[in-house]
Structure 1
Amino acid sequence: MIIETLCHPRAAVIGNPSDGYFGKTIAFLFSNFQAKVQLYHTPELDIQPQRLDKTRFSSMQELVENVNSSGYYGGIRLLKATIKVFYDYCRECNIQLDERNFTIRYDSNIPLRLGLAGSSAIITACMKALISFYGVAIPKAILANLVLNVENQELGIAAGLQDRVAQAYEQPVYMDFNKKTMEKQGFGNYEVLDAESFPNMYIAFRKNLSEGTEVLHNNLRARFNIGEPKVLEAMEKWAGFTEDFKAALKTRDCETMHRLINANFDLRHSLIPISKGNVEMVEAARSVGASAKFTGSGGAIIGTYKNDEMFKRLKETLAKKDIEVIKPNIVNKN
């Protein structure tokens, strides 16, 4: 029997990047793209390489293009690290695993380097396949922590919980990463939201990516750690935007949600240097009346629009800049 698990990209609707600094955020998954993992019983443990794990090229140019788009390691390292973290967790929790081996392979069409949580989607799908194969029960909040451990501890990838929580729950989630709560229980307070309450939303990204996520935002960590007042104040504001957005969801107050999304990006722009190409995407979307902010750390944007006429103008305007616009199909697995 083949076990097949899927995981989808994440879009941060509001609050980021305060989620990495004991703040609050709201995020959902959308099924327009997916990472897929297949796992089945075999005599030996075999991790099969896929299209992102190329070792044969027609030229040096093709090799360089592959490295620029997929990095040096592809996805095999993600699977290996996930298997190790799953095994270590089971040993620490005295969970007995049977001695079966397996073959595992993955595939993903999630656009890379756009802040859509493509790597964590592969890891989460892998972890869920292992859980199913061995019949292990892991609470969703702990699952999100394990996925983060794969990236932070095993692979040294800077990441936060937001993406992994949304991917673990597979529903829109409000997340409160209050420091005292995190220290007490090891994870935040998570509340599932009604997918039907979200306004008209779009996601946009460049088809031929020339610049991806904003590396410069990483200096926020140092500035936060030394207690820079401007940074601490911004974290409080982003968390406040999240609370206000959550309240607006309940009353379907689209104007407030539109304003908060714009304010979220504007605050980020005032605090962190943002590349010209990323700013251009936001400004182009706003030029037709839509709201706009990053879905994650740059490379893709998310926002609201009023009606089909505005969405049409949004697509036409951004297409001139080689930017693709989609309507996200929000995942809501009860």
Structure 2
Amino acid sequence: ATAAARLACTAVAGSQGVEAADPWRTHTAYARIGLVGNPSDGFFGKTIAVAVSNWKASVRIRPSPRIVLEPHPVCDPHAFDSMEELHRAYSKQGYQGGIILLEATCKKFCEYCKKHQIDLSGKGGFTLQYDTNIPRQVGLAGSSALITATLNCLLDFYGLGEDAMPMPVRPSFVLSVEVEELSIQAGLQDRVIQTYQGCMFMDFAKEMLEARGHGAYERIPTSTLPPLWLAYVADPSNSGKIHSDVKARWQGGDAEVVAAMKTFARFTDEAHTSLLARDWASLGKLMESNFDLRRQIYGDACLGAANLAMVALAKELG
């Protein structure tokens, strides 16, 4: 599957309903693409990523007598016309839909507010609904998009802003929902770009993360980006599911992996310079080098035959 990437260039503050009396408030987070540096965000590296509006996750919230998290009719199916339909649904998407992301976000949000002495009483209950068209399991960050949109709904509902949860802290909060509540192993890149949108340069230096709880995030004008064509495997069921030992190797001080993460960071610095100069030929070479290095340390089995064929086709076509 392919598409010309449409850039999500500005942060969405929350689009309200068309009618003033509509009680729903909606927040949206977009799919993302990693240009350069991935996967070093999980290894104190640097990355550049872009939010694209081709696909999005939207969550909406309104006051209600009790707190209600509504399952999605497609993503959280519980009624079927036949056993075959049930089998197809659970075989394709597993047993956990998107509702667990809303549940975990609300739980973690409550804990964050207690820790920071933020009073949530007096507002009554709320109802949350969600929708998403971000393809699952193809690397477009659909889970973190739903968590980000849910967080923005909660901040909006309780009238909380930068003083309660500063913008640079929000990606770290989203990551904590995934890692601590749902045991999803990930880095900060996706959460940063879905919080800030547009195009972002990110530095995840260890000393900054440990001292501040977040990295250094710099906006890159989207006008510096070349036209982007996005391709992904339409059916990822057998693509790249082999377990990787890169994290364990890095934690053990493996020289090859440690050096690779430093090289990813260097690629990112060079890509930053290329973008600002609108040197797209140089950017393209850095993107290829980034993939080649990732393939070297992760291996073909981990990346998946379909993904490798897709990249080979892109290179063949220039």
Kindly state the Cα deviation for residue 38 of structure 1 after the two structures are TM-superposed. 1.1
> Aligned to 1:159, which of 186, 189, 192?
186
Q: Is the 8 A contact 1:148 1:161 kept in 2?
A: yes
Q: Distance in 1 between matches of 2:82 and 2:272?
A: 51
3-state SS of 2:209 partner: helix
Structure 2 CA distance for aligned equivalents of residues 189 and 142 of structure 1: 11
Question: Match for 1:54 among 77, 83, 88?
Answer: 77
Q: CA deviation at 1:207?
A: 2.8
* Aligned ranges 1:1-334 → 2 under 5 Å: 1-50=23-72, 51-99=74-122, 100-137=124-161, 138-212=165-239, 214-216=240-242, 218-274=244-300, 275-289=304-318
**In the alignment, is the contact (CA less than 8 A) between 1:8 and 1:33 conserved in 2?**
yes
The ranges of structure 1 where at least 4 consecutive aligned residues each deviate by more than 2 angstroms after the TM superposition are: 57-65, 67-71, 206-212, 214-218
Distance 1:217 1:201 in 2: 30
Distance of 1:27 and 1:69 partners within structure 2: 28
CA RMSD of aligned residues (A): 1.3
Describe the shift of the 1:184–1:7 C-alpha distance in structure 2 as closer, same or farther (beyond 3 A): same
Alpha-carbon separation, structure 1, partners of 2:62 and 2:160: 16
Q: CA–CA distance in 1 between the matches of 2:125 and 2:259? A: 51
- Give the drift of 1:273: 1.9
Matched AA of 2:313: A
- TM normalised by structure 2 equals 0.88
Cα distance, 1:155 vs. partner?
Answer: 1.1
Alpha carbons 1:217, 1:273 under 8 Å: kept:
no
Partner of 1:87, secondary structure, is helix
* Residues in 2 aligned to 1:85 and 1:106: alpha-carbon distance in whole angstroms: 18
- TM-score norm. by structure 1 comes to 0.83
Quote the offset at 1:59 in angstroms: 3.4
Q: Deviations over 1:235-255 (max 9, x none)?
A: 111111000000001111111
Tell me the residue number matched to 1:325.
none
2:244–2:298 contact (8 Å) kept in structure 1: no
What is the Cα deviation at residue 271 of structure 1? 1.5
**C-alpha displacement at 1:217, in angstroms?**
6.1
Amino-acid identity (%): 40
Q: Partners of 2:77 and 2:62 in 1: how far apart?
A: 23
Answer yes or no: is the 8 Å Cα contact 2:172–2:214 preserved in 1.
Answer: yes
Counterparts of 2:206 and 2:111 in 1: how far apart (Å)?
26
Counterpart code for 2:215: G
CA distance in 1, matches of 2:119, 2:237: 47
CA contact (8 A) 2:198 2:219 kept: yes
1:210-255 deviation line (CA, Å, top 9, x unaligned): 434x344631101101111111111111111000000001111111
CA distance in 1, matches of 2:83, 2:46: 45
Distance 1:219 1:211 in 2: 19
- Aligned 8 A contact 2:233 2:306 in 1: no
1:287, 1:14 → 2: CA distance?
Answer: 20
Tell me, what secondary structure is at the counterpart of 1:151? Answer: helix
Partner of 1:305: none
The alignment of Structure 1 onto Structure 2 pairs a total of residues equal to 288
Q: d(CA) in 2 for partners of 1:64 and 1:22?
A: 41
Which amino acid is 1:142 matched to? V
The SS at the match of 2:144 is helix
Is contact 1:217–1:272 with CA below 8 Å preserved after alignment? no
- Structure 1 residues not aligned, in runs of 5+: 290-334
CA–CA separation in structure 2 for the residues paired with 1:60 and 1:267: 45
Classify the secondary structure of the residue corresponding to 1:25: strand
For 2:262 and 2:230, locate their aligned partners in 1 and report how far apart those are by CA, in whole Å. 26
1:302 is aligned to: none
Q: What CA distance in whole angstroms lies between the structure 1 residues aligned with 2:255 and 2:82?
A: 51
